[in-house]
Structure 1
Amino acid sequence: MAKIISQETFDEVVKENVVEFSMNVQEAKDETVKQFEAQGINLANIIKNLTINEETGNPVLNETIEQLKTISAGGDVCSSNLPKLLDTLAFECKVSVPHRVMAAKLGANETVSHIIHLALEKREVIDSTVMQSALTAWNEIINKQPDIFNDKSLFLIIDIFSKNLGDAFTLLCLQHLKNATLLHEINRQNIMNVGILTCLKPLLKTENPEVLKETCSLLRYLILDDDVRIEFSKAHEHAKTIAAEVLVELTKLLPIKMKDTNVLSELLLTIAALTVRHEFCVQVEEAGGVKFIRDCMKEHSNSIRVSKETLKVLRALVGNDAVKNNILKDGLAKIIDEIINIHKANELFARAALHCLSTVTLRSKENSQLLFEAGAAETIVETMRLHPTSKLVQRNGAWAIRNMVSRSREQCPTFLSHGVEDILKQAMDTYPDVQYDLKAALRDLGCDVKLNEEWTGIKNKIHIEN
């Protein structure tokens, strides 16, 4: 079994090489590694790239945290040295996750949060640079280690929101909450349980595009289901709660933010993520969502990002049958076909577009007919032909074809005339794991296809007579 040492032991030897043997930092590190490896010690758990103070031989990260602890304990948040120390901590934590884990073990999270708390109490005499540096460092510490987030952190952020300190501080708090929610279901539940929407709803009225984008992003983070440690998440419950509060407001922001494609994309993505129930589909439609989407598609037809997000919203809205029946009226089918033709060479867009077409036409002969009349048959086939190496494009295309022709067999000759049979058969050879979907499309097109009987039941060798 390989021997290991602690980070403290490694750092002590580096320090000895710097102070006692007058080596430079790089020489001291190299010599220390050689010494331990010669002894058969495994250094896989050691952070070897810590910045070392050339005068003392100690890691800068350790020294910085110790100085910050002294300031925090003394309450001297007016110290002129404080912003520099906080900036150094942020810089060191930005290097890697192991640096951040080490900083947290040394108490950096509690120390910095206490400094922020003290600065809030004395904000009339505190330079805003201190708060800016403290929040930045705090964000760097928690990045990719949400387990260190706790109730004190949460209530401190709520306190900052309530004091309306300005957009710069609001942005940093939003980013901190995002870091706390990623891959951590319990943090998401705790944040929702304290009524965070009370703090977030007013931010939707901001004129600052960055604040609005970060707010939308945080709303989506709160409905993630990405924590493998939790068997059942509350992602759907959170989505329902958030949608009931802000979905209509987000929809009404679409025409207001029509000129800013970055903000517009964030709004569309958030609306699609929150539309998780059929009544929410109706709310979006009644708030003018379908009309706004049509306007977005017309005005930003050359933007791949906006076009892709509009298709995601459409896919979400057809979760309600009544909305689905009205969604492609007033020329939207033609607009969708035109947009797909503009961006069909982009694989990610092609996936989303074909998935949208398959959802819109599912069990809807009327929508299938409107898209067919708009030229979607040729568009689907050409999009699949452009991406023979993309399994998802081929699968989504097969879904779209099947849903288009399943209730409209008269469309089959048109699809076949564009060479779809060869494309589907080639995809079957290339991607055997999606053969079922590809065969289903060929079957509904009326093509010759061999269908395997997946299960024939259990045949007893012993004949049982009555």
Structure 2
Amino acid sequence: MGPPKTTVRTISQEAFDELVKENIDDLGMDPAEALQDAIEALTLQGVDLSGIITCIPGENNVKDNPIIQCLNGLKQLDSEFEDQIRDKNLDGIVELFVKLIELCGAEGSGNAAIATKNGGVELVCSICSRIPNGYELVVVSALKTMSSLLHDLQSTGTFQTSNGPSIVIGILNDNKQNLGILNSGFAVVASAATGNEIVKQSFMELKVDELIVEIMSIHKNGDIQSLYDAIRVLLTPDDNRVVASQVYGYARKLAKIGIAEALVDSLRAGLSSPGLVSASIALKAVAVNDEICKSIAEKGGIDAVLRCIDDSGEQRNKSVARVCCSLLSNLAGSDSNKNAIVEKGGMDRLIKLSARFADDPSVLQEVMSIISVLSLRSPENAARAIEAGAGDLAIQAMQKYPLAHQMQRNSCLMIRNLVVRNPENRTILLNNGVEKYIRKAKHSHDNCKEAATDALRDLGLDDYNL
């Protein structure tokens, strides 16, 4: 399996420098003008200049660039040993890694691209493969450096061809008890697999799924947030070069070996866990079909999520509120789960949450989304929603936040599901004046037009197209 190749026009550092030099020598431009002309000409030709050090020859030599100096220093230390790093090299390597991380982290600097263009990924992979066991500081700094370099498809592709997946999985397997190395290692997995289907496949072939479940079993109370990020990325179809992603198969495979139960256990720690948001997002990525959603419920997932929703309201934690409502929407994709959520007081708990976050439309829209799912094809649940106060929520929120277009759309979608099979709900909502807010949303926001039209139609209004 291989995605189709995309063609990107690039230029080497040597060719760029030569073009600037020609502008000076042959066209008589002053150095600053020659440099700017070269940049503009290449940009117009569609050449990708990321990773190119754009300096004036003779003034700021390429070798003086701090990224190049770091890489040259690492190359020199790397060349001084054959199989493994010697103790005398360790401090120097760590120092250079720390500097490289700082440089690549500078926003808008383009330093990560410069490092990648000049062999940084290959070099760090080489060093990682030769660090002996027992040198945690060196391993962690090397892995953090790798994460800082993996920023685009070119860098992750180089990571793949440099045997990066195998090297990182080897480090993780050798350090299953070390939280520092595990956090840094899974951060590399997440960075490397982002947007690259081939890297995802390589990690899965190396049984990263089994390793993840094992690590979660060993560290039940450990906060390895990057592990959750790795799960999410491995299960996200984000490589636009691929027509049919394999990630849904990966989710089924992970579910089969126990990832759902492990993630539910992580949610049980509640808001005391710093990784709660990441764990919730990871569990949502796993919940890709009815069977998996049911299994999550059987493992206590619905109870755990509802408890987190309650706690998020009490502690005013909107990040947890949003992701847990989103996760609950996924789990409610199973009809049996819908009923379980409602039977556990889900409607009342969601309306209570909306009251706690009445000043935050980003939370309100998630509450509306889950109520929409719970009410879909279920007149009983739609009736329960109205009894709990979903109609009042829609009207009050639409009136209060006319510019929150996604919330307005979600409100229209919820209203439609509340009334389409419940004529009595139509009367209640129309008598409370919902029509004018739906029409206002329809005429104010393009993304609301279809949802608003459907809501007006299912409310029984003849002029729903106006």
1:331 aligns with 2:345: yes
1:340 aligns with 2:354: yes
1:86 aligns with 2:97: yes
Cα distance change of structure 1 residues 332 and 105 upon mapping to structure 2, 3 Å threshold: closer
Residue in structure 1 matched with residue 79 of structure 2 by the alignment = 73
- Matched to 2:260, the amino acid is L
User: Does structure 2 conserve the Cα–Cα contact (< 8 Å) formed by 1:399 and 1:441?
Assistant: yes
Q: CA deviation at 1:198?
A: 2.1
How far apart in 1 are the matches of 2:36 and 2:340? Answer: 71
How far apart in 2 are the matches of 1:103 and 1:56? Answer: 12
Q: CA deviation at 1:12?
A: 9.3
Residue in structure 1 matched with residue 26 of structure 2 by the alignment = none
Residue in structure 2 matched with residue 278 of structure 1 by the alignment = 290
1:253 aligns with 2:266: yes
- Higher mean alpha-carbon deviation, 198-207 vs 416-425, is at 198-207
Deviation string for 1:404-449 (max 9, x for gaps)? 1111111122212332111011112213554232122112222341
1:408 aligns with 2:422: yes
1:136 to 126, 139, 144: 144
How far apart in 1 are the matches of 2:105 and 2:254? Answer: 32
Residue in structure 1 matched with residue 25 of structure 2 by the alignment = none
1:313 aligns with 2:327: yes
Cα distance change of structure 1 residues 289 and 84 upon mapping to structure 2, 3 Å threshold: closer
Residue in structure 2 matched with residue 149 of structure 1 by the alignment = 159
Q: Under a length normalisation based on structure 1, what TM-score does the superposition of the two structures give?
A: 0.82
Q: CA deviation at 1:6?
A: 5.8
User: Does structure 1 conserve the Cα–Cα contact (< 8 Å) formed by 2:20 and 2:35?
Assistant: no
2:203 to 171, 187, 191: 191
- Matched to 1:114, the amino acid is S
Q: CA deviation at 1:251?
A: 1.5
- Matched to 1:81, the amino acid is G
User: Does structure 2 conserve the Cα–Cα contact (< 8 Å) formed by 1:325 and 1:364?
Assistant: no
User: Does structure 2 conserve the Cα–Cα contact (< 8 Å) formed by 1:13 and 1:32?
Assistant: no
SS of 2:64 mapped into structure 1: coil
User: Does structure 2 conserve the Cα–Cα contact (< 8 Å) formed by 1:93 and 1:100?
Assistant: yes
Please, what is the CA RMSD of the aligned residues? Answer: 3.1
User: Does structure 1 conserve the Cα–Cα contact (< 8 Å) formed by 2:441 and 2:452?
Assistant: yes
How far apart in 2 are the matches of 1:258 and 1:101? Answer: 39
SS of 1:315 mapped into structure 2: helix
Residue in structure 2 matched with residue 168 of structure 1 by the alignment = 180
Q: CA deviation at 1:362?
A: 0.4
Tell which structure's C-alpha radius of gyration is larger: 1
How far apart in 2 are the matches of 1:332 and 1:5? Answer: 58
Q: CA deviation at 1:332?
A: 2.1
User: Does structure 1 conserve the Cα–Cα contact (< 8 Å) formed by 2:456 and 2:464?
Assistant: no
How far apart in 2 are the matches of 1:131 and 1:53? Answer: 37
SS of 2:240 mapped into structure 1: coil
User: Does structure 1 conserve the Cα–Cα contact (< 8 Å) formed by 2:187 and 2:227?
Assistant: no
Q: CA deviation at 1:244?
A: 2.2
Spell out the pairing of 1:218-237 with structure 2 (5 A cutoff). 218-237=230-249
- Higher mean alpha-carbon deviation, 361-370 vs 416-425, is at 416-425
User: Does structure 2 conserve the Cα–Cα contact (< 8 Å) formed by 1:314 and 1:356?
Assistant: yes
- Percent identity of paired positions between Structure 1 and Structure 2: 23
User: Does structure 2 conserve the Cα–Cα contact (< 8 Å) formed by 1:311 and 1:356?
Assistant: yes
Q: CA deviation at 1:56?
A: 10
1:114 aligns with 2:129: no
Q: CA deviation at 1:11?
A: 6.7
Q: CA deviation at 1:368?
A: 0.9
Q: CA deviation at 1:133?
A: 2.7
Structure showing greater relative contact order (alpha-carbon pairs closer than 8 Å, 6 or more residues apart): 2
Cα distance change of structure 1 residues 36 and 170 upon mapping to structure 2, 3 Å threshold: same
User: Does structure 2 conserve the Cα–Cα contact (< 8 Å) formed by 1:421 and 1:447?
Assistant: no
SS of 2:195 mapped into structure 1: coil
Gaps of 5+ in 1: 16-30, 453-466
Cα distance change of structure 1 residues 41 and 367 upon mapping to structure 2, 3 Å threshold: closer
- Matched to 2:66, the amino acid is V
How far apart in 1 are the matches of 2:336 and 2:39? Answer: 71
Residue in structure 1 matched with residue 46 of structure 2 by the alignment = none
How far apart in 2 are the matches of 1:192 and 1:38? Answer: 47
User: Does structure 2 conserve the Cα–Cα contact (< 8 Å) formed by 1:261 and 1:306?
Assistant: no
- Matched to 1:248, the amino acid is E
Cα distance change of structure 1 residues 326 and 132 upon mapping to structure 2, 3 Å threshold: closer
Deviation string for 1:56-87 (max 9, x for gaps)? 97323223322322322221543243222233
Cα distance change of structure 1 residues 98 and 147 upon mapping to structure 2, 3 Å threshold: farther
Cα distance change of structure 1 residues 6 and 146 upon mapping to structure 2, 3 Å threshold: closer
How far apart in 2 are the matches of 1:299 and 1:132? Answer: 35
- Matched to 1:158, the amino acid is I
1:62 aligns with 2:73: no
How far apart in 2 are the matches of 1:199 and 1:217? Answer: 15
Cα distance change of structure 1 residues 40 and 341 upon mapping to structure 2, 3 Å threshold: closer
1:394 to 403, 408, 417: 408
Cα distance change of structure 1 residues 113 and 450 upon mapping to structure 2, 3 Å threshold: closer
SS of 2:343 mapped into structure 1: coil
Residue in structure 2 matched with residue 461 of structure 1 by the alignment = none
SS of 1:155 mapped into structure 2: helix
1:265 to 273, 277, 281: 277
Q: CA deviation at 1:281?
A: 1.9
Residue in structure 2 matched with residue 22 of structure 1 by the alignment = none
Residue in structure 1 matched with residue 444 of structure 2 by the alignment = 430
Cα distance change of structure 1 residues 62 and 288 upon mapping to structure 2, 3 Å threshold: closer
How far apart in 2 are the matches of 1:223 and 1:177? Answer: 12
- Higher mean alpha-carbon deviation, 273-282 vs 433-442, is at 433-442
Residue in structure 2 matched with residue 203 of structure 1 by the alignment = 215
How far apart in 2 are the matches of 1:139 and 1:157? Answer: 11
1:384 aligns with 2:423: no
Residue in structure 2 matched with residue 374 of structure 1 by the alignment = 388
SS of 1:270 mapped into structure 2: helix
Q: CA deviation at 1:90?
A: 2.8
How far apart in 2 are the matches of 1:36 and 1:411? Answer: 69
User: Does structure 1 conserve the Cα–Cα contact (< 8 Å) formed by 2:309 and 2:325?
Assistant: no
Residue in structure 1 matched with residue 432 of structure 2 by the alignment = 418
